[in-house]
Amino acid sequence: MRATIRDVAKAAGVSAATVSRALNRPDLVDPETLERVRKAMEEMSYQPSAIARGLSARRSDTLGLIVPGITDFFFNELYKGIDRASQQYGMKVLLYDSEHSRERAFEGFSILSGYQVSGIIFTSKLVTEDYDPILQRLNIPVVLTLTQSAAKTPLTAFRIDEVRAMFDVVAYLVSRGHRQIAMIAGKLWDDRTGELRLEGYREGLRHFGIEYSEARVEFGQYRFDDGYQAMQRLLDRIREVPFTAVCTASDEMALGAIRCLNDHGYRVPDDISVMGFDDLPIARMVTPRLTTVAQPFHEIGAEAVKWLVRAASQPPSPSEIGDYLLPHRLVERESVRSMN
Amino acid sequence: MRATIRDVAKAAGVSAATVSRALNRPDLVDPETLERVRKAMEEMSYQPSAIARGLSARRSDTLGLIVPGITDFFFNELYKGIDRASQQYGMKVLLYDSEHSRERAFEGFSILSGYQVSGIIFTSKLVTEDYDPILQRLNIPVVLTLTQSAAKTPLTAFRIDEVRAMFDVVAYLVSRGHRQIAMIAGKLWDDRTGELRLEGYREGLRHFGIEYSEARVEFGQYRFDDGYQAMQRLLDRIREVPFTAVCTASDEMALGAIRCLNDHGYRVPDDISVMGFDDLPIARMVTPRLTTVAQPFHEIGAEAVKWLVRAASQPPSPSEIGDYLLPHRLVERESVRSMN
DNA sequence: TTGTAGGCGTTATCAC
DNA sequence: GTGATAACGCCTACAA
């Protein structure tokens, strides 16, 4: 059996209350006593029960994280930021995979709150109005990352300016002499991000006086195979609707697109240029290295944690609640050719 | 404030004990009462406190997972297997990243046990004798994945037959007509895996009557850059020590090696063949698609959970404790050329 | 079948 | 500075 606070107390010749204080408010306890208690803890290799602590203090030093899919490539990066920041605050992270299901996401809030998490980070899926009832009952802070809210409950979110990011992509492509630019956009039923990036693409074209054509746009669900197939469709009509560059809504789709291009004898970037989006670690490992937009995953994760920790100690004022846009960055590598 | 078991009890006109039973042993409660209680829970959207439950029942329906690094590419795959299986058993997973530090790994056991986890999965680092004291005090089951134990405490582990796997790689390469086979092996201070794979390589060579040469072996810490640099060193002496194929200890290093080869004007597999190890999702996304050894990550994760759940209910007999080797599989794709 | 009571390991509020 | 003592929300004998 593990030693409890009472065991330590007995060994140190003090009361449990004193041991508790030694742990939480060492400044309130006599240095000598403190020393005795610490020695006792050491000797018994005492580890306070986070469970009991959580029950009693009504907090658990634990953060809940709801992700749509653990295998989504960006997850690791986001998680890294979250984990690092959590540690700084002495927090643990409890992970919940909603498996892209809305019902499971709902359940996630409920279950995590059963663990007394002091806050919940919700990721990458649009929060719609049907989340409101759940959000209302929840008496713990929630923060969004890589997505935003369309619900009534005010929610703060950390993400990039999606529209602007894709606008920048177009601008970059144009600066490299491309005018016939296709897009493999993202589309998921509960995903706003895809639309925003598409909007950025359209704005970019408009800004540079390039006509938008539906025939140059295909959609995919962000994964490799989606990118492959979307490119396949684009290629099917390349004669009628030619393009020299393709921008995509994810690195993974970019890889799929490149693979498809290769399979059809096109070289990247010599024949056709491809742009990714995300700047995942693999982006620099493939040939050609992917030119892409870097999302500040780590920072976003860290900011989310910071926000939650802060919100737990003092409820944020309404003016502090809202969307925070973190800077993205265009990373130039090898998958785009200059036509100039 | 969230509803407690007492609130539900009051609403349903029963005692808290009955609500508890309705939750845990519905068979012991009158169907009508059960119905009333369930309705009350529904209406109040009652979610039992996992914390209180854990404290009282001395179990938490939570599994602890200690990984050396959250950003290690294989992690997602392992986690997926663990998460899926955990769900089946109604378990949550608490993640702890030891950041490749032994001290943090020690701490991980302690912290996780403070969360009353019903078991701990330890990943991919060799468990040495200095873990013994910690392991001894721990009164919860521990299972190893993707690694093994060199400690005194008997521990069960799920992994592949590393030696055999690399032997198979060599055999495959030989069957494709390669005789000059280099290796980029793995090396980490607390890693036995690297040695085993190297051993398999040597055994393979020996079996096919090929002389082993230290000059054909380089080491790396499994990451992309390590693979790149190791290949660089191999290339530096390719005149004196030629090779037509390279096997590696990880897909990531294989990617690095390929990238290095490309940078020096070698084509893969036309000029030099490269084999990966792991079969991560990216293996099929790159050009050339990686020929590699598939580790059964999902199964290993699932088995680990199953074992833990079982061990929690009834302590495993000594004969059940040990190494379980799961089958690996050689996946033939495009990065190896046939010389025949 | 259901209720009462005690306890799980902490923390927090009081006195002392 | 320190020690009782009462929660925290649930589970589990035991009694009814």
* Chain B residue with minimum CA distance to A267: B287
Q: How far apart are CA B114 and CA A58, in angstroms?
A: 16
Task: Flag if A2 and B139 touch (Cβ within 8 Å).
Answer: yes
Task: Flag if B139 and A94 touch (Cβ within 8 Å).
Answer: no
Q: pLDDT by residue (tens digit) across A3-24?
A: 999 999 999 999 999 999 999 9
- In three-state secondary structure terms, A246 is strand
Measured CA distances, B52 to B57, B59, B258, B263 (Å): 8, 10, 54, 59
- A121: pLDDT strictly greater than 80: yes
* B266-305 residues touching A, CB cutoff 8 A: 281-282, 284-287
* A74-93 residues touching B, CB cutoff 8 A: 75-77, 79-80, 83, 92-93
Tell me the residue ranges of DSSP E strands in chain A: 62-67, 92-97, 119-123, 142-145, 156-160, 181-186, 217-220, 245-248, 273-275, 292-294, 323-326, 329-331
State residue A267's pLDDT score.
96
State residue A1's pLDDT score.
66
Nearest to B76 among A52, A54, A71 (CB): A71
Report for A334-338, B22-26, B84-88: range of highest mean pLDDT: A334-338
Q: Which amino acid is at B246?
A: V
What residues of B are in contact with residue A137 (Cβ under 8 Å)? 2, 45
What residues of B are in contact with residue A83 (Cβ under 8 Å)? 70, 95, 97
Q: How far apart are CA A20 and CA A6, in angstroms?
A: 10
- B194: pLDDT strictly greater than 90: yes
- In three-state secondary structure terms, B72 is coil
Q: What's the predicted TM-score (pTM) here?
A: 0.92
- Orientation angle between helical segments B5-12 and B16-24, nearest 10 degrees: 100
Interface test with A, best of B115, B229, B333 (most A CBs within 10 A): B115
CA proximity to A75, closest of B253, B281, B124 = B281
- B71: pLDDT strictly greater than 70: yes
State the sign of the Cα–Cα–Cα–Cα dihedral B326, B332, B338, B340: positive
State residue A122's pLDDT score.
96
Our measurement of CA B192 to C1' D6, in angstroms, reads 53
Closest nucleotide relative to residue A6's CA, C1' based: C9
Q: pLDDT by residue (tens digit) across A192-217?
A: 999 999 999 999 999 999 999 999 99
- B1: pLDDT strictly greater than 80: no
CB contact A44 to B (< 8 Å): no
Residue nearest to nucleotide C2 (CA to C1'): B18
Interface test with B, best of A47, A83, A111, A132 (most B CBs within 10 A): A47
Looking at CA atoms only, how far is residue B151 from chain A in angstroms? 20
CA max distance for chain A: 87
CB < 7 A contacts with chain C (nucleic strand): A 1-2, 4-6, 16-17, 19-20, 23-24, 46-49, 52-53, 55-57; B 13-18, 21, 28-30, 32-34, 52, 55-56, 58
Nearest to B113 among A2, A77, A137 (CB): A2
CA proximity to B99, closest of B109, B108, B91, B89 = B108
- A78: pLDDT strictly greater than 80: yes
- In three-state secondary structure terms, A16 is helix
Q: Which amino acid is at A17?
A: A
Bridge partners, B122 (sequence order)? B66, B144
- B57: pLDDT strictly greater than 90: no
Q: pLDDT by residue (tens digit) across A145-173?
A: 999 999 999 999 999 999 999 999 999 99
Ramachandran assignment for B67, one of left (phi > 0), alpha (psi -120 to 50 degrees), beta (any other) = beta
Mean pLDDT of B28-47: 93
A270 versus A124: the higher-pLDDT residue is: A270
Q: pLDDT by residue (tens digit) across B218-231?
A: 999 999 999 999 99
Q: Where are the alpha helices (DSSP H) in B98-250?
A: 102-114, 132-137, 162-175, 193-207, 224-236
Q: Which two tokens stand for residue A147?
A: 């997505």
* Chain A residue with minimum CA distance to B256: A285
